[in-house]
Amino acid sequence: MPEKQIAPVISRLEEFEKNLPGYLDTHNKLAILLDYDGTLAPIADNPNKTKMPVELEAILRRLAKHPQIFMAVISGRALRDVHALVNIDGVTFAGNHGLEIEYPDGSRHDFELPGEIQRNYTAMVDELKECVEKNGAWVEDKRVSLTFHYRDTPAHLKDELKQLATEICQRHGFRPNQAHEAIEAKPPVDWNKGEAALHILKTKFGPNWADEVRVVFAGDDTTDEDAMRVLQGLGRSFRIAADAQIQTFADFRLPKQDLMTDLLKWISTVYVC
């Protein structure tokens, strides 16, 4: 069974190969699965202001063109939002924590929510907007999941709003999850970033994907742990976190988001992009 650990830390470019000698090999196909906020782009004070660093984006575009590399971005954002923010040809996009997936050829896989859950979602959004969308806090309605943002709320009001938002989500049967200055509410279904990652890999490489491809996953949030858990022992995953004592399913910890550029540089060097 997968277990959490205090993962070894990688803090500079040369440590990737030192810690993973020979893991990447041009004779093997590579699947790169990445979160967006806090991973490809630094966390911003407003989600509309996030942007990938120029150097990181340039490397990402080169990697996406490589014939031996498959790339997917799996985000908690709505699919259309993460697609617009990354906007790289040949990339598979998964939004709403994998509830909606779009492949480069335009085909899709959408997790169909039961009617009762859809009705509960609508009622939950309405109640959140009425009760907690104030003092700088706001509700991001993503159609099948939502994020309650309170980053701009005065510090002395945050705990009260967080608690109330969490209670409202739970009352409507949704699963609240702590994110960066936000509460994410996901539907009560057995589908998450981990299930989405497995679905994407099986769709692309077949049921024996683990024998066919090397996998690299990176994420910074608790929702990314679902993917790190299912990939433990099958790929290599990286948790971006400043907390040296954080417990994670990831194989390695990156203490800063800008080390994502070094991770992609390491991959690029091996595949000579």
Domain limits at 66? 5-111+191-272
As a whole number of angstroms, the distance between CA 192 and CA 199 comes to 11
Average pLDDT of the segment spanning 76-90: 95
pTM: predicted TM-score of the whole model, two decimal places: 0.91
**Region 185-190 average pLDDT:** 94
pLDDT tens track for 28-59: 999 999 999 999 999 887 788 899 999 999 99
The CATH number of whichever domain residue 197 belongs to comes to: 3.40.50.1000
Domain shared by 47 and 119, yes or no: no
Examine the domain organization and report whether 86 and 220 are in the same domain.
yes
Residue 233 main-chain phi, psi, to 5 deg: 85, -10
Pick the last residue of a domain from 130, 157, 186: 186
147 phi and psi angles, rounded to 5 deg:
-130, 125
pLDDT band at 24 (very low <50, low <70, confident <90, very high): very high
